[in-house]
Structure 1
Amino acid sequence: MAIILILGAGAMGSAFSFPPADLGHEVMLVGTHLDQEIIRELKKSGIHPKLKMKLPDQVQVFSHEELGAAMICQPDVIILGVSSAGVAWAVQALGPLLEQPVPILLLTKGLAVEEDRLMILPQFVAGGLHGFGIGQFTIGAVGGPCIAGELAARRDTSVTIAYPDREKFYWLNSLFKAPYYHIHYTTDLAGLEICAAMKNFYALAVGYPSGYLDMTDQLQNKAQMHNLSAGLFTQSIKEMAMLADWMEGTSENVYGLAGIGDLYVTCQDGRNSRMGKLLGSGMTYSTAKKEKMPDDTVEGAELALKIGPLLEHLFQKEILDKKKYPLARIIIDAICHDALMQIPWALF
């Protein structure tokens, strides 16, 4: 039996506790300071208020103030399920409590900016923890189409884990490969992380047609705009592949579960596609966020605000060819500059 610590008690972090708990491992779920209401409800009833499911009995629940107590047992693996904005906090919280390197897997999706450099989050976490003088950490990530509510309901789910150490991956696989949780393996950590982050970004554009349709006249044949959605979906994958290649990843994950698969499921029903629908209806991002989604974390928009200025700088310096990223530029304009979103078909 292994001891698994999950930091982040939101929907995905909590849902990730189901496979290892069902396999008989001990799971410690630690909330962040943003998860206080969730932790209180879990301690009271055992039912996660967002997942609407009771957590397995093997899951022990801790508040962020109890992280030190949870770490006393020295977990065999740590899962980061915090938001992208919470990764730096997680590094600072875990660093003083770790006595030696342990395997770490990231559920968190996002990219980091360091001066004029775009970094994947495992690089950021490894560098941050190394600063505590503990040693060199090997860090992997989980990507692919996984809706938290479906995982918590034990619906069949296929994901990809990127981990540099193949032998260690087989051990990790044994901890999480429940009958309903199907794991594929890749060494392409950069490619997987680009897909995990950018699919939220591009889902903003793929969600655009449903809002644009609402603003057009109803036709006699009730034609939809699936053609438009498919065109934007395809352009999104094309640009993700170029960005993955630029960051020394491969197309393996772009055209697999982490890319096409995850973008597909994200566009079905998620906060990013809902924001895209609002943009398609003619709203600016600031208005849509304030009036329609004030309490929602829109990961794609947050990523655009974080990396948009850097990408624009790279376009200006011709480090990246801006002609190859027309959809990315439109999304950045809409989110970072509050411009009305318009699809530049002639530039595709």
Structure 2
Amino acid sequence: MSVKVAVFVAGSWGTALSQVLADNGNEVVVWTRNEAQALEINERHSNEKYLPGVSLHAGIRATTSMEAAMNGAAACIIVAPSAAMRQVAAQMKPFWTDDMIAIHATKGFETETLERMSQVIEEELLCGEDRIAVLSGPSHAEEVVRQCPTTVVIASTSIQTAERAQDLFMNESYFRVYTNTDVLGVELAGALKNIIALGAGLSDGLGFGDNAKAALLTRGLAEIARLGVEMGANTVTFAGLAGVGDLVVTCTSTHSRNWRAGSMIGQGIPIPEVLERMGMVVEGIRTTKAAFKLSDQYHVQMPITEQLHHVLFEGLDPKTAVESLMGRVRKNEIEEVAKSNWT
């Protein structure tokens, strides 16, 4: 059944998800602050800044009016950067109705409060957590808009909300959707893997090869799971699409913003210049700051996050950071895995 869906905002991932929704026969209205971008989407059916060379579905409309986007919508898809999530959700509040659901696809934290995106949305929309879902998993926007086979997970504390979101996005040709009720685990996995992707890019930028990157991914997953389990997430979530799946794709693909940023840092390019070259949000940098605080708050060892924090915010040389990781006290891998509650 076709319904109206409002999408916030018109970046690469928001645009790609709009394409899936439109392919599924839904009425899709994308909200953007940029009048020129709205005009481009409506008249040229393109979004060249974020997805160059892609022809958008003719049924996707764009507007700069929040009211026009939300009026009559059954669901709101929020893909704002983590730093803008509270502001966007607050602007949505006057037009939010009791029959809507919110689905966010942003992988990060609010660094000031250390809140997850679903918590920020719940606070601003004044709605119950059962009306919020999170979409995550291994999914590059550049591949989704080309209809490359992609599989994601949608999590909500309400299985009914998760299934409503699943119905919106499920496409038998190229976009498969699973449901999950572990919102905490899915959000943590999606956000924290960006830190490891930064590290993987940094390792590649230093020319350290596949052995180093494989170790980084493996130990990075253990690090993510340690914090997640301590915070109350389900261990199994980290072995699924939101965990291993998203970690692998983000750490090994040149589509990954976090990998690209890490690679440039590893090559010695100053961080301000890296961010300028990227031209898009690199969530892993903000997430590193948040995760560093969370590791202290929950008394969880996160050595990769710690060393990246030193590199990003304290000026530590990347090679020195790697040496610190390699020189850590000797441990038994199986004992450490067992302590992480993976058994």
Smaller-chain TM-score bracket: 0.7 to 0.9
In 2, Cα distance between equivalents of 1:309 and 1:238: 15
Mapped pair 1:331 → 2:324: no
Where in structure 2 are there 5+ consecutive unaligned residues?
330-343
Aligned length: 319
Where in structure 1 are there 5+ consecutive unaligned residues?
214-223
Q: Which residue of 2 aligns with 1:218?
A: none
CA RMSD of superposed structures (Å): 2.1
Task: Report matched runs for 1:115-264 at 5 Å.
Answer: 118-130=114-126, 138-179=131-172, 180-213=174-207, 225-264=209-248
Question: AA paired with 1:78?
Answer: C
Q: TM-score, normalized by length of structure 1?
A: 0.85
Q: Which residue of 2 aligns with 1:280?
A: 266
Secondary structure of the residue that 1:53 maps to in structure 2? coil
Question: AA paired with 1:238?
Answer: A
Greater Cα offset, 247-256 or 184-193: 247-256
- 1:188 CA displacement: 0.6
- 1:47 CA displacement: 1.5
Secondary structure of the residue that 1:301 maps to in structure 2? helix
In 1, Cα distance between equivalents of 2:62 and 2:162: 26
Secondary structure of the residue that 2:206 maps to in structure 1? helix
- 1:9 CA displacement: 0.6
Q: Which residue of 2 aligns with 1:42?
A: 41
Asked whether the equivalents of residues 104 and 134 of structure 2 are also in contact (C-alpha less than 8 Å), the reply is yes
Asked whether the equivalents of residues 285 and 334 of structure 1 are also in contact (C-alpha less than 8 Å), the reply is no
Q: 1:300 aligns with which of 254, 268, 284?
A: 284
In 1, Cα distance between equivalents of 2:117 and 2:80: 12
- 1:37 CA displacement: 4.1
Percent identical pairs in the alignment equals 25
In 1, Cα distance between equivalents of 2:278 and 2:75: 35
In structure 2, the CA distance between the partners of 1:249 and 1:28, relative to structure 1 (3 Å rule), is same
In structure 2, the CA distance between the partners of 1:201 and 1:44, relative to structure 1 (3 Å rule), is same
Asked whether the equivalents of residues 186 and 237 of structure 2 are also in contact (C-alpha less than 8 Å), the reply is yes
Question: AA paired with 1:337?
Answer: E
In 2, Cα distance between equivalents of 1:338 and 1:44: 46
In 1, Cα distance between equivalents of 2:239 and 2:203: 23
In structure 2, the CA distance between the partners of 1:330 and 1:98, relative to structure 1 (3 Å rule), is same
In 2, Cα distance between equivalents of 1:146 and 1:136: 24
